[in-house]
Amino acid sequence: MKSKEIPQKLGLEENRHFKMKALSAPVIGSDLYTSLGQRLYDLYRKYSIDQGDQREIENLTYLLVNFNVDREDKINPKSFWKRMMGR
Q: Summarize the confidence of residues 56-64 as an average pLDDT.
A: 88
Q: Summarize the confidence of residues 31-42 as an average pLDDT.
A: 89
pLDDT bin (cut points 50, 70, 90) of residue 6 is confident
Q: Summarize the confidence of residues 33-40 as an average pLDDT.
A: 89
51 pLDDT higher than 90? yes
pLDDT bin (cut points 50, 70, 90) of residue 62 is confident
Mean pLDDT over the full length of the chain = 79
- How far does the chain reach from its first CA to its final CA, in angstroms? 38
**pTM score:** 0.55
Domain ranges across the chain? 7-11+40-70
